Amino acid sequence: MLKGIIDYLIIDLKLDFNHAVRVDTYPGFVLRSVLGWQLKRMHCVMRDSPCENCPFSSTCAYAFIFESIIPKTTASLQGRDRASHPFRIWTDAIPGSIIKSLELHITLFGRARDYLPHVVYAFREAAATGLFKARTPAVLSSVMIEGQEILHGDRLLLHDLPPKKIELDVDKKDSLEKILIINCLTPLRFKTDGHYSVDFSGPAFVSSCLRRTFTMFEQYGHLDLNAQESLLQALRLGKESTYPIIPERYLRWVEFSHYSGRQKDSMQLGGVMGHFRLEGEASNLSWQAIELSTTLGAGKNCSFGFGNISIENT
């Protein structure tokens, strides 16, 4: 039986602030930024050298997690030299709200799991330095995996961590009819016909899930050549399909200001929130990709916390 496999780990962290703080921007932007800054501060030994030229990049937590350098011949990302990041960050904190603690969730995929202590320590240091515009200090009070507390003082108890993996069965060739409610818990963002829109089609959404599945399994899991071809074929067929359809949608477009350190400029990043009904026939592989997107994330900018979806079967 042909399968794609990817290992992952979900970490739940809690940060307690010294006093109440206003969430003055989309929290995923802040959390991703401080994680990258702290990892680079902790690990970079050749500050004047680009990561792709650094002899230490193959073992560096920052280079692997944040630069994610790949060959331009990679099947799922032809012509690109950077992969999707091997992590997701999301939180339920709402921009504009006042909070005294922040609960955040991080999923690490594939080899990124080996850097769990580095990620936790980076957030501990970032919290002590201060978060959001007011730079309010916080204390890392809890680190949990599968309901198990692993933070004990300054130590992380990493033995007996429950292994988790998701699998992709590409041998199932049949098509299925389903009705799903897709809940966009954080902004869902992907291009359809070259632009972002709330009026995307069912096949466009399915294709975005297939692309995300292809990329993450190829880069951070195992996906043999037959499995790759099955995903490529599903993507080709999706371009010609009119099913499944979206007969109902209750979506709104939301945007947040984000400063890009790489581009040295402020920009608006947004996506759709709400829910929609997906109905009709699609390949078994397509339905699997949608289901897997609840773990992998859906669409673009998942490392910011975008693309967090849940599914209801009807």
Q: What's the pLDDT tens digit per position in 232-253?
A: 999 998 888 999 999 999 999 9
Return mean pLDDT, the chain: 91
CA distance 185 to 307: 8
Query: pLDDT at residue 261 above 80?
Result: no
pLDDT score recorded for residue 284: 94
CA distance 73 to 199: 33
CA distance 282 to 68: 32
CA distance 108 to 165: 11
Higher-scoring residue by pLDDT: 161, 80: 161
pLDDT grade, residue 69 (50/70/90)?
A: low
CATH number of the domain located at residue range(s) 169-313 in this protein: 3.30.70.1900
Return the domain boundaries, the chain. Answer: 6-164, 169-313
Read off the pTM. Answer: 0.92
On the question of a cis peptide bond just before residue 244, with omega within 30 degrees of 0, the verdict is: yes
**Residues sharing a CB contact under 8 Å with residue 104, sequence separation 6 or more, in sequence order:** 12, 13, 14, 15, 27, 31, 89, 90, 91, 123
Percent of residues, the chain, with pLDDT higher than 90 = 73
